Amino acid sequence: MSLRSALTDPRITRWLFDWGAWPYGLYTDQATWKASCAALIRHFPPTAGPPRVLDLGCGPGVSALEFARRLPEAHILGLDIATAMLRRAQAYAARDGLIGRVSWLRGDALRLPCATDSVDVITGHSFLYLVADRQAVLAEAYRVLRPGGRLVLMEPNERPFDPRLWRRAPGEFRFVISATLWHLYSRLHGRFTPTGLAEMLQQAGFSHILAEETLDGLGLIGRGEKGSAKVAPEGEKRARVPQPLTSAQAAPSHFLYLLITQNPHRPGWQPISEDEITWDAMTVTGLESGAEVLLAFTSLVKAVVFMQPAVVAGLVRDVNKVGKFRRETVQAWGIPLLVNPEVEALRAPDSHYLLPGRGVRVNHRQRERHEEEEGQTR
């Protein structure tokens, strides 16, 4: 047996990660690595309730604990095949005051202990490249995801190592060491190209696929979505097509929630100047008038419930926030509103609207600042 085949044998890999739990935890328990874990959150799908997250190959729990820290209502399960890794994860959870926020389970990604269509998002941070039968793991992930759920991965990128990384050593020594070892070790198992990772997700049945570089080109973020459930047969009850409301007829709720595309869009832990930000609210276009009609919802839940099928259908691609505004503020804009619409109603043959519209520029400074974070759709 060659050294390469020995080191990539699943049994050897499991032994190595059991033996190496302490040093692996030491070199990944640092700010830059944690930020790369938290960056996966922006690819999570919208959910009507607390998201159900399954973190595959969670290792010492760095990624799962970052999710728990930033998504306090989420239900998170961290799964790994190495017992020592899970013990290290429990120790980090105790240290960070996050005991009980993540459920830890020793298990195999080829046989997930989850019901079909039961999970909102499955993550894997530096995991899939270690797996011998990658398509089998992806098939199991696809089974467990609910329709509209997403698989979000961060994997090593197949590109030359950039020696400029070492310039970061004085301030980020542990990251430089971990990134270097990761780059070297991933060569044994096989790295990914953006095209190769996207094609693998496509072969597994995923749609709305994304593959982009991260970590200064060392890694790739890959994302795929499970298709929606079957559309109801023709003849079943059709959703009501709502009519636009003028600003004076706006819904009686105190607040309205708008679907927002923010540019630039950056994770919450990266600073951004208020002057850089622009917000464009999602609209539909009136087929007869050609005018833009603003989509508005009377609760955050209703906005998210609208987005779920819209995202699956590819009708919503760039929305990255739900903005909360006072009703009086929105009324003052004088733009016709479509309140609490249903996706299928807007796509019906007798709909008077084209979805999506061109968008309307709104003033982000008028939002309800104290509840700004609750509106992030990641």
Per-residue pLDDT reduced to its tens digit, 85-105? 899 999 999 999 999 999 999
> 239 pLDDT exceeds 60?
no
Most confident by average pLDDT, 1-15, 159-173, 229-243: 159-173
State residue 201's pLDDT score.
93
For Cα atoms 260, 261, 265, give the angle at the middle one, nearest 5 degrees.
Answer: 125
> 373 pLDDT exceeds 80?
no
CA of 275: how far to CAs of 261, 279, 320, 372, in Å? 16, 11, 18, 17
The answer to whether 259 and 304 have CB atoms below 8 angstroms apart is no
Which percentage of the chain shows pLDDT scores above 90? 34
Tokens of 56: 């595959």
Cα(371)–Cα(361) distance, rounded to whole angstroms? 21
**127 vs 174, higher pLDDT:** 127
**pLDDT tens across 176-228, in order?**
666 666 666 666 667 788 888 999 999 999 998 988 888 777 888 999 999 86
**168 vs 123, higher pLDDT:** 123
Place of tokens 């950056």: 266
Cα(44)–Cα(74) distance, rounded to whole angstroms? 12
Task: Give the list of residues 6+ apart from residue 72 with CB closer than 8 angstroms, or none.
Answer: 101
Taken in order of first residue, the domains within the chain and their CATH numbers are 3-225 (3.40.50.150), 247-375 (no CATH)
CA of 227: how far to CAs of 149, 206, 238, in Å? 8, 7, 21
**313 vs 69, higher pLDDT:** 69
Cα(57)–Cα(17) distance, rounded to whole angstroms? 10
Q: What letter represents residue 225's amino acid?
A: E
State residue 56's pLDDT score.
96
Closest CA to 228 of 302, 307, 284: 307
Cα(300)–Cα(297) distance, rounded to whole angstroms? 7
Task: Give the list of residues 6+ apart from residue 106 with CB closer than 8 angstroms, or none.
Answer: 79, 80, 81, 82, 83, 86
User: Which pTM value belongs to this model?
Assistant: 0.57
Burial label, 82 (beta-carbon count in 10 A; 0-12, 13-18, 19+) = buried
